[in-house]
């Protein structure tokens, strides 16, 4: 965040993920925490989700897969997905396993296949230990390939490449100690 505030604009390189969907797209970055932004869709004359050419970022904390399923279906019912050119899935922390999917990413990527758009999974932003800054409302380009993905911002500033794997590859013991100090429950085998 400090680098961004000082004028350094990141290009994020994200490792491959089993539920990524290949492709490239450009658009305006919108979204955030699903429980926060989904209820706002369609509630105002100034509805950013009605614009064409969107890159949708989604993350969530403490919601069951059932609730995430409902929120995604709300986006579909309001026609938001017709305007989306690409999707970035951030952290889905403490999401329940009350559906027939092993993860939120598996469920959402299955739902997104019919749109034939790129899907980047595992972007480290949301409510987990690493929360990289995103510039909402900025024009972005995303590219998802077999070996990983990139997200770049079309804004003024010095460009800086950020390898997200370097930020998220924390040894298990250090991560458990961090969770303990922050009051979270943990398993030593994490």
CATH number at residue 65: 3.50.30.60
187 in a domain, yes or no? no
Q: Is residue 69 part of a domain?
A: yes
Q: How confident is the model at residue 185 (pLDDT cuts 50, 70, 90)?
A: low
* pLDDT tens digits, one per residue of 83-125: 999 999 999 988 877 778 889 999 999 999 999 999 999 999 8
Dihedral angle at the C-alpha atoms of 174, 180, 184, 189, nearest 10 degrees?
A: 50
175 within domain boundaries: no
Number of domains in the chain: 1
Residue with tokens 């491959």: 16
CA dist list (Å): 150 to 3, 56, 66, 159, 163: 18, 15, 30, 13, 9
Share of the chain above pLDDT 70, in %: 85
Global pTM reads 0.85
Average pLDDT over residues 53-58: 95
Residue 98 lies in a domain: yes
- Please report whether residue 186 resides in a domain: no
3-state secondary structure of 66: helix
Domain contains 178? no
Domain limits for position 66: 2-163
Enter the DSSP assignment of 59.
E
Band (pLDDT 50/70/90 cuts) for residue 126 is confident
Using only C-alpha atoms, the chain has a radius of gyration, in whole angstroms, of 17
In a domain, 153, yes or no: yes
pLDDT digits (tens, 9 = 90+) for 4-51: 777 789 899 999 999 999 999 999 999 999 999 999 888 876 567 777
**Which phi and psi angles does 71 have, rounded to 5°?**
-65, -40
CA dist 13 → 47, 72, 124, 154, 175 (Å):
30, 26, 11, 16, 22
Residue 176 lies in a domain: no
Per-residue burial over 110-146, b = 16 or more CB atoms within 10 Å of its CB, e = otherwise: ebbeebebbbbbbbbbbeebeebebeeeeebbbbbee
């Amino acid at each position: 965040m400090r680098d961004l505030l000082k004028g350094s604009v990141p290009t994020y390189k994200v490792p491959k993920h089993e539920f990524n969907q290949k492709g490239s797209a450009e658009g305006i970055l919108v979204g955030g925490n699903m429980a926060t932004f989904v209820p706002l869709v369609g509630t105002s004359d100034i509805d950013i989700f009605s614009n064409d050419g969107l890159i949708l970022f989604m993350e969530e904390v403490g919601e069951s897969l059932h609730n995430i399923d409902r929120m995604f279906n709300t986006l579909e019912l309001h026609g938001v997905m017709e305007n989306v050119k690409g999707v970035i899935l951030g952290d889905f922390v403490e999401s329940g396993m009350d559906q027939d999917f092993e993860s939120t990413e598996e469920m959402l990527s299955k739902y997104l296949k019919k749109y034939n758009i790129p899907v980047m999974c595992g972007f480290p932003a949301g409510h987990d230990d690493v929360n990289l800054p995103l510039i909402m409302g900025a024009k972005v380009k995303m590219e998802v390939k077999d070996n990983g993905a990139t997200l770049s911002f079309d804004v003024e500033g010095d460009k800086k490449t950020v390898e997200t794997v370097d930020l998220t590859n924390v040894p298990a013991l250090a991560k458990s100690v961090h969770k303990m100090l922050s009051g979270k429950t943990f398993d030593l085998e994490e």
